Homo-oligomer: A and B are copies of this chain.
Amino acid sequence: MDRNKVFAYLDEHFQQYLADVQQFLRTPSVSYTGEGIRETAGQVADMIRTLGGTAELVETPGHPVVYGEIDSGAKDTLLIYGMYDVMPADEPGWIVDPWGAEIRDFLDLGPCVIARGAVNTKGPLSAFFGTLDAIQKAEGRLPVNLIFAIEGEEEFGSRNFPAFAEQYKEKLKQAQAMFFPFFYCDQEGTPTVTLGTKGLCYFELTARGGDWGGPTTRGIHGSYAAWVANPNWRLINALASMKNEHEEILVDGFYADVIPPNADDLQILQDLEAFRDDSLFLQLQEVKRFKFDAQGVELYKHLYFDPTLNINGYASGFTEEGTKTLLPHQATAKVDIRMVPGMEPEATVAKVKAHLAKHGYHDIEMKMHNLYPWSKVSVQEPVVQALLTGYTELGRRPMVVPLNPGSAPYYVFQRTLGMPYIAGGLGHGSRQHSSNEYCTVEGIRDFQKSVVAFFGNYVQLQARGRG
């Protein structure tokens, strides 16, 4: 593959590829509401077909997975994982229509596409298809065969993806490794390579009136609080029993199976110190201080190797304007646990349940939404090295981090399909899950070149491996 030829083609046709990204972002594809989901899945399948591939929508109990293949007659095959769904865009504070994909100068970053999904991850997905088009147009064919598995429920915690992977196991295992295209640079252009992900356990805790006390079917007058217990106090006392004011999780054995960072991890964390200006994180996220008085390696240990117990939301009783006096009959908290290496999902859930039982909260209901494990990949894998080398070739020094503090279903690739995986690409965007999600226009161009370099390096490393 003549990279420079492909780069020239990309530069020449960039306005078209940029317009394609904008167009793709203008169809909402909200997994929570289902809005635009099937239309967008169809668009993805069409993109694969336009490149000469085959594609189908694989039905699941939820939204379909787009499965596709492009056979280039190459020796190597990569699995392209991606997602076509996005979060809702109902937060206040958007300065443009979240489905308008307008280009605006933003945050001193120059022109940016501002839209729900700009970075997470319809922007990168569309830019990836543009890259494939450019390679084919410039070179005649792709240097690798591709298999696609683009899901529509990532923001639901990928709840039907594991069953899909099981069902399509034999087809998917034709690939040697998985690649997830993403804009992975920070504001200063440094790309991150992440070697794993925490697991996710997302559940609702609900206290409602019952044999223990409290109103059972409806809220009653607030003055009865002198006689009748309040499910809010029950849930609040139960939650407070699980975490103290010093950020320690008090569930028995919660940390027992945690594997602390090993020597390699600690080396990676030390290398990080040279890279990171954590005040940028605070600035971008509009946070005034970290919750630990730590810095450098000690701070990173918290981010990457601490499990978390987070309250995403809480709802009970009268919450509108005014002063209705009410003793509510139920209270619900949406809670998630991020599990680090060593913590198995079922065991973690069992510990939370045991904690509630031990403290007498047998009645508090635990409704499980998502439950999937952590995963970790070696930095020596060809798919990882191909990406890292490509960054260096393009003049960027990549930052390697041991784990994504968020969650993604990479365990499916590691545990179900037994293949290494990496997510990557140049390009920058942020504010995912918030108002004014964006990606920079220049980052799209960088991303496309980094994908070209990645493919080239991967093919070379594999050939070298075959001797």
Contact = CB atoms under 8 A, between A and B. Distances in A.
Interface of A: 31-32, 87-88, 91-93, 155-157, 198, 200, 202, 209-230, 232-233, 236-237, 239-240, 243-245, 247, 281, 285-292, 299, 302-304, 306, 308-328, 331-334, 336, 338, 360, 369-370, 404-407, 432-435
A464 to B, nearest CB: 36
Contacts of A406: 221-223, 325
A328 B91 CA distance: 11
Given A314-B315, A314-B319, A321-B32, A287 B326 contact: no
A355 to B, nearest CB: 14
B236 A322 contact: no
A326 B333 CA distance: 12
Nearest to A311: B232
Nearest to A307: B226
B213 A291 contact: yes
B313 A328 contact: yes
Given A226-B405, A228-B291, A285-B228, A315 B312 contact: no
A325 B311 contact: no
28 contacts: A93-B217, A156-B322, A211-B288, A212-B288, A215-B286, A215-B287, A220-B287, A222-B433, A225-B309, A226-B304, A226-B306, A228-B285, A228-B287, A232-B314, A233-B239, A236-B311, A237-B245, A239-B240, A245-B360, A311-B316, A311-B328, A312-B323, A313-B316, A313-B326, A313-B328, A314-B319, A319-B332, A325-B407
Given A202-B325, A237-B243, A322-B369, 16 more contacts: A215-B286, A221-B432, A222-B406, A225-B338, A226-B308, A227-B299, A229-B247, A233-B239, A236-B240, A236-B314, A237-B240, A310-B325, A312-B317, A314-B319, A314-B331, A324-B433
A221 B302 contact: no
